[in-house]
Amino acid sequence: MSEQEAPAGLPVFESIRRQLSEMSAAERKVARTLLGGPAATGLASSTKLARLAQVSGPTVIRFVNHLGYATYADFQDAVKGEVVARVTTPVELYPEAPSAGGGALDDFSATLGSAISDTLNRLSPEDLAAAGELLADPRRKVLVFGGWFSSSLARHLAAMLQELRPGVEFIDEARTQRVAALCDADKRTIAVAFDFRRYEAETEKLGRALVDQGAKLVLFTDPWLSPLADVASAVLPASVGTPRPFESYVSSMAVVEALTARVVDLTSAASRARFERYGSFVDTLVPHWEYRRGIDTAEPGSGAPS
């Protein structure tokens, strides 16, 4: 390694993204080629990477030196594991899943707790602040979408934001809805995408198309970064690995909660007024809430249903 050590604890792709503003224009071309290209781009020779990025060979070497690697070989050694992790499938992970033992629940709790802690400790305060500022602006409309499993996270975030501010829409997988959302997008639009490894082409297509229309993109992803990271205004990565073949979105949910709390802090009085107004309509349109309230306020022995 060089005198400037590579950032400890940060995945290589996340380190690249965070240092974009410190790089020369030519070095940023290399960075964006790696962030937005196929997973294996980082395993290409320095000559091929230079050709893909349309820069000189020495620029690629300066790029890896900027990251803290003495040689291109050092950089490739660091990036290899992340490239493999990016493309590993659940089927490939399945044989590695240990069988449940007597302490399985405690072990699982420790794993998830560690994942949440690592995620929040590594989260960029600048990215969280940028995402919060974008979502707190009532002049902007917000479109939230995800993939096969991550749509559940997207729906949850959209539901919470709808209670805090106007102009929030969850975009499902229906192509008609996605086309309509794209048609209406402009520079006042904030797109929030959830995209995790085995990154989904449909999510990337919509995200890039919205950015092309002028939208700002907030990206929830994993430590290896969705290809959308190269066009995002804020990137919020979270740990997803568990001892089982299924990815865990627990850490991403923690980031969702942290971002929502940030929006509440930034909007304060306005979001409280919206929250109260929202609650009044819930009382009007959801009868079981009033029914439950009647139980809570009933006098003992009054005959209220139980």
CATH number of the domain bearing residue 237 = 3.40.50.10490
Q: Is 21 a domain residue?
A: yes
Q: How many domains does the chain have?
A: 2
What pLDDT, on a 0 to 100 scale, did the predictor assign at position 222? 92
Q: List per-residue pLDDT tens for the chain, 306 residues long.
A: 444 444 456 788 888 888 888 999 999 999 989 888 777 888 899 999 999 999 999 999 999 999 999 999 999 988 887 777 776 666 666 655 555 555 577 777 888 898 899 999 989 999 999 999 999 999 999 999 999 999 999 999 999 999 999 999 999 999 999 999 999 999 999 999 999 988 899 999 999 999 999 999 999 999 889 999 989 999 999 988 766 667 889 999 999 999 999 999 999 888 889 999 988 888 788 766 555 555 555 555 555 444
The residues pairing with 189 across neighbouring beta strands, listed in sequence order, are 141
Domain contains 121: yes
Secondary structure of residue 189 in the 3-state scheme:
strand
- Kindly state whether residue 76 falls inside one of the protein's structural domains: yes
User: Is 298 domain-assigned?
Assistant: no
Q: 258 and 126 share a domain?
A: yes
Residues 50 and 145 in one domain: no
Express each pLDDT in 186-220 by its tens digit.
999 999 999 998 889 999 999 999 999 999 999 99
The Cα–Cα gap between 175 and 168 comes to: 19
Query: Would you say residue 124 lies in a domain?
Result: yes
Does 212 reside within a domain? yes
Polymer length in residues for the chain: 306
- Do 193 and 78 share a structural domain? no
- Same domain for 125 and 81, yes or no, is no
Range of the domain at 41: 12-87
Are residues 70 and 185 both part of a single domain?
A: no
Please give the Cα distance from 231 to 249 (Å, whole number).
Answer: 23
Write out the two tokens for 105. Answer: 């629940």
Residue matched to tokens 């998830």? 112
Residue 160 and residue 259 in one domain: yes
109 within domain boundaries: no
User: Within 13 Å and on the Cβ side, how many CA atoms surround 301?
Assistant: 0
